[in-house]
Amino acid sequence: MHRLSLSGLLISSLFSLTCTEGRVGARASQEPTHAERVDTVVDHVAGELVEAVVERVDGATRETALRSRFAADELGIELDDSHRRLLTDFYAERNYRPVFVSGDHLTAAGVELAETLAAVRDHGLDPADYHRAEIADGIRAMYDPDTVEEARNRAALSDDERETLRAWVDQTHATAGELPDAETTVALLLSSDAANPLPRLAALVHNDTLAATPEAAAAIDTELHLADGYLRLARDLHFNNEHYFTDAMKEERGWDFEEEGALAAATDTLLAESFSRAAGETGVAAELRSLWPPFRQYELLIAGNREYRGYVEAGGWGEVDAPYEMRPGRDATFIPDLRRRLAAENYWDGDLESRTFDEELSAALAAYQAAHQTRADGYIGEATIESLNVPAERRLAQIIATQERLRMTRLARDAGGEYIVVSLPAFRGELWDEGEVVHSWDTIIGRLKRRRNDDGTMRYWGATPLFSDYMENIVFNPYWNVPGQIYRDEYADRIEEDPEFLTEHNMEFYDSSNGHRWLRQRPGPDNALGVVKFLFPNEHDVYMHDTNQPDLFSYDIRAFSHGCIRVKDPLELATVLLARDQDTAMRTARGMAHSYVNRGAQQWVPLSTPVPVHLEYFATEVGADNRVHFLADVYRLDRARVDELETHIREREALRRTEMDAIRAANQQARIERAAATAANTQADAE
């Protein structure tokens, strides 16, 4: 419904008056009489009053309803205690003026927020968790033109009121020597000033009877649902991750998280500040965008989420039944299925019916394999077919699981600064600074070895743990102190059986000054740690190091270690770290690193500025080819969550399809009825 603004109404009134005066004829060029000037003021005031009353009644209705709900502590929607307290303080500070609704429509901020909450699936979130249905119902219910028209009719001046106003204007002129202007007069008529000649209008504005109308109630429900939706989304995107609370922030704010409830209170404080910015100059969309995890991968996975959600909604893809392995150059009946399968995920745009496994199709398959952590040889094999037959719903679930991990990552602590991150499923380490990758390297991580606990349950031993710490030292030509579990599992029996074992493997037993004794391997070319290790002291005794088995880097899935992280080209990593730490050229740092190695003896080199190290688990990522890469869930850490998400996606998609079928059926019925009505009308005309 279009509502004319006060300024628009005034312009319209002036235009009408100009036309009227033009019809007067002989008097058009003469000065208007005093009575005519009084009538002009009264007409202006009467016109502006109608819209002013409507706007103020709408505003007062919403404000009164909002105030009364908070006063009675009966908001009409479910809120957790922290959100209730936050919104109570926020609306009290703004005298209960709504932010997201105005009259019978959403404000610009309300539209922005409603659209954002409807699009949270891009983040792998469910719109139902942010009141999407309630907001949609509220928007429909809050619009009722009859309610507004009723207020307009009640605001219109009766003939008696016009005469009263005319007399007041005339008296004001006699007293002040000039006619009152329309804006001042409207303000007086809508006030509780004793000089108000028409107090009925002020009473109308302050009357709260409309506050009880269904439309006004729906508007306040919508306001509160939108406000709570913002708070929920802001928490999920940002404020639930305590790692954003840096030491600098705690010091600046005087926060001590050792105190009970301090973290929750700090979170509520920042959430309230964010909500105020969104409702103010920053705006909803910009403020929520600032809360996204500040990592390029998160933004890329939003696009990946949309892409794979599209595949799900398109019906996904069928399975490929390949009974045997195949190299290019042969024909088979299942090749058309392979072509259609690759086309469904946008890896193939050629012929869909040919039975020939040609070079072009092999190249498309190799691109698929590269993005699914399978050897990219372009051959049809068991691992490739198994990957191709993972349904679209599960692929989308895998993307969402990584989005969830990125929202809660410990990387938030160092975002924008310098840090090392090792993504275990990617078998890759990266050095980041100011949002850019400075250096990257391939890794080998801990193997997945199953052991049975005393109670019969299974546990995994050897997996690299997930944690964060600080790299403090680089050690060249290190000793390898053999952990007790490895000694018992792999060395104790061999040493006992072979007297020459220690000599052949450059090993020795070492007795410390405090009486401890352990097996260690001396520095040398056969040392299990290679020529350099990178220490970030931690309770897991995990570190990064060189390896004497470089051939293992040729594998796609590299889970071979006892838990530590083996580094490909470790001297290059040492060079990069030394150059940055000592602010020297790469050439100089490379010479230093090789000099330390050539000495042969163990050499500890402390870093003047410890570097944060994060061992993380991101099983999907967007690669340089702009495709989503699906990596091995090598430690099965995502399996349960992906199972849960896949089930939810299937249920949601089934519901969406049911709703779409109902809409199509209704549209088809409407078309049939329209066609029948047209035919009947045509028949009637013919008769």
- Which pLDDT score is estimated for 211? 45
The pLDDT value recorded for residue 148 is: 59
486-523 burial string, b = 16+ CB within 10 Å, else e? Answer: beeeebeeebeeeeeebeebebeeeeeeeeeeebebbb
Q: CA 133, 135, 139 angle in degrees (round to 5)?
A: 120
Contact 306, 122 (CB under 8 A): yes
CATH code 2.40.440.10 region(s) in the chain: 413-478+523-630
pLDDT of residue 213: 59
What Å distances lie between residue 367 and 167, 196, 346, 425, 622, CA to CA? 87, 80, 11, 19, 14
Longest dimension (CA), the chain: 131
Class at the top of the CATH hierarchy for domain 317-390? mainly alpha
CA distance 421 to 516: 34
- CB 396 within 8 Å of CB 309: yes
Structure confidence at residue 56 (pLDDT): 59
Q: Please, are residues 375 and 369 in contact by the beta-carbon 8 Å criterion?
A: yes
> What sections of 73-180 are H helices per DSSP?
81-93, 108-118, 132-142, 145-155, 159-176
Which residues make up the CATH 1.10.101.10 domain(s) of the chain?
317-390
What kind and span of H or E run contains 521? strand 517-521
pLDDT at site 321: 93
Residues of the chain short of pLDDT 70, as ranges, are 1-30, 53-62, 143-151, 204-215, 687
Pick the CATH number of 413-478+523-630 from 2.40.440.10, 3.40.630.40, 2.60.40.10, 3.40.640.10: 2.40.440.10
pLDDT of residue 18: 36
Q: Which of 195, 191, 156 is nearest to 49 (CA)?
A: 156
Query: Hey, what are 411's tokens?
Result: 């990387």
pLDDT tens-digit profile of 51-107? 776 665 555 566 777 887 888 777 888 888 999 999 999 999 999 999 999 877 899
Q: Is 73 left (phi over 0), alpha (psi -120 to 50) or beta?
A: left
Q: Which tens digits make up the pLDDT trace of 202-218?
A: 776 655 444 445 667 78
| Angstrom distances, CA of residue 319 to CA of 287, 323, 600 | 43, 12, 57
CB atoms near residue 556 (< 10 Å):
15
Residue 209's pLDDT is: 44
Element (H, E) at 267: helix 262-279
679: Cα within 13 Å, side-chain hemisphere: 6
Instruction: Specify the 3-state DSSP secondary structure of 531.
Output: coil
